[in-house]
Chains A and B, each alone.
Chain A
C-alpha cells in the first residue's frame, strides 16, 4: 500500500539529490505563477521528457496521476460555467464561457506538469536520501528528524493496523453505516495510538542505550559532480526562459 517508487539506474537517478530538490522547487514555483498557455505547454513537455528520462513505469505513473486529477475533474464541472466571460456555447440554458474553459485548461496543464516533475523526483530518489538532502539544504534539524521517524514508522504502524483489521475481520466485523462500525473504528484508532505510544517509549529507551544524543548520522556524503553542474545550468536556463516568456506577455 505504501511503497516507494524509487528504483532503477537512470541518468537522473545519479544526480545529486540536493540539485534535484532545488530544480523541482524552482520549476514548481515558476509554473505556479505562470498563466500563459504556451509557457504551460512547454513546461508540460519538459516535465514529460524528464519523467521519460527517469524511466518511471507507465502503469505506476497512471496509478499516481488518476487520483490527483479527480480534483481537476471536479473543477471542470464548475469553472466553465462560473467564470465570467464570452459564452462559447450553451449547455441547456447555461452558458459555457471561453475564458472559463481556458482557465480550467490552464489549471489542468499546470497541475499535471508539476505533478509529473514531483513524480520524477521521488521516482529517482529514496525518501531517506531526500531527508538528508533537505537537511543539507538548511531545513531545521528537528523537522528533518521528525520526517525520518515518521517515515520510518509509517510501515510499522501500517503493519500494526493490518493486524488489528485482520483480528476484527476474524471476529466477523463488517463495516456498515451504523454506530457500531464507527465505534469499532474509533477503538481501533485508539488502539493504534496506544501501541504507537508504548512503542515510542521502548524505541526511545533502546536508542538511549545505544548512545542517542539527538543526532543522526549519514554514512553517505553528497558531492557535486560534472553532470550535476551541467544539469543545473541547463535546467535553470530552461526555467528562466519559461519565466521570461511568461513575463514578456504580462508587460
Chain B
C-alpha cells in the first residue's frame, strides 16, 4: 500500500510528513534508550513478516500486520513503522524520500487507533471470545483505515483520483478479513506461548 514518489501533491506530502513527525515524536518519548535494541529486533521481525505472501483466491498478497504492530507496540508503532518504511524505500524503492511521511502516517495511525480501540480486549483477564473479537477487529480495522487513508491521500491530490482511490479500498476488503483472522490466530498463539508480549512489555495495557 505504499504510494510511489511523484504522485501526491505537495500539500498532502507536507501535511502527512508533519503529522507523522508528531506521531514519531510521541512514540520516541515512550522509548527508553535501553529498549532500542529489542525494539529494533522486533521491528526487524515485523519487517520480515510483512514480506510473507499468503494466497487470496487466484492471487497472493503480502501481509501488512499493522493491527498486530499496534496491539504490541502502542504509540511506539510510529517510530517502528517509520524505520520500516524508510528501509522499504532504501532496499526496494517502494515509496521514497518525499513520501516517507505520508506512507508512515497511513500505516502507523491506524495501528495506534486500533491499540486504543481494541487494546483493552487483550488483557490477561479477558475471556477467550472477547480476546478473539478484539484481535480480529484490530487486524481488520487497521487495514481498512489504512486503505481509506491511502485512498484519501490520492483523493486530496486531485478529484480525478477518486475512482482509483475507491478501487484501492475495495481491493483491500478481502485482505481485511485475512489480516483479521491472522491477527486473531497469531495473538491466541502468543497468549499461550509468550503472554508478556501482549501484556505491556512494549506498550502499557
Contact = CB atoms under 8 A, between A and B. Distances in A.
Interface of A: 1-2, 4, 24-25, 28-29, 31-33, 64-65, 67-68, 71-72, 74-75, 77-79, 82-84, 100, 103, 107, 109-115, 118-119, 122, 127, 130, 140, 142-143, 145-154, 156-158, 160-161, 175-177, 179, 181-183, 185-197, 199-201, 203-204, 207, 212, 214
A119 B10 contact: no
A186 B162 CA distance: 34
B19 interface: no
Interface stretch (B94-102, B105-113, B123-131, B141-149): B94-102
B163 A82 contact: yes
A185 B182 contact: yes
A196 B44 contact: yes
The 4 closest A-B pairs by CB, nearest first: A149-B40, A110-B6, A186-B185, A200-B38
B41 A149 contact: yes
Contacts of B47: 150, 154, 157
B92 to A, nearest CB: 7
B7 interface: yes
Interface of B: 3-7, 10, 13, 24, 28, 31, 33-34, 36-49, 51-52, 54-57, 60, 63, 65, 68, 72, 79-80, 82-84, 86-87, 89-94, 96-98, 158, 160-164, 167, 178, 181-187, 189-190, 193-194, 196-197, 201
B193 A190 contact: yes
B185 A146 contact: no
Given A29-B98, A149-B40, A191-B193, 7 more contacts: A68-B93, A115-B96, A160-B48, A161-B52, A179-B181, A185-B182, A197-B196
B90 A182 contact: no
B6 A32 contact: yes
Contacts of A156: 44
B103 to A, nearest CB: 12
Contacts of A146: 31, 36, 39-40, 43, 79-80, 83
A213 to B, nearest CB: 9
Nearest to A165: B52
Contacts of B84: 150
Nearest to A1: B51
B7 A186 contact: no
Contact of B55 (A25, A181, A200): A181
Contacts of B72: 193
B54 A182 contact: yes
A72 B79 CA distance: 28
The listed residue with most B CB atoms (<10 A of its CB), out of A4, A103, A183, is A183
Contacts of A150: 40-41, 43-44, 47, 80, 83-84, 87
12 contacts: A32-B6, A33-B10, A78-B160, A110-B7, A115-B4, A118-B5, A142-B28, A143-B82, A145-B36, A148-B40, A187-B186, A193-B45
Given A107-B6, A146-B79, A196 B28 contact: no
A189 B44 contact: no
Contacts of B51: 1, 158, 161
A158 B39 CA distance: 16
B190 A190 contact: yes
A79 B164 CA distance: 8
B122 to A, nearest CB: 14
Contacts of B56: 177
B37 A204 contact: yes
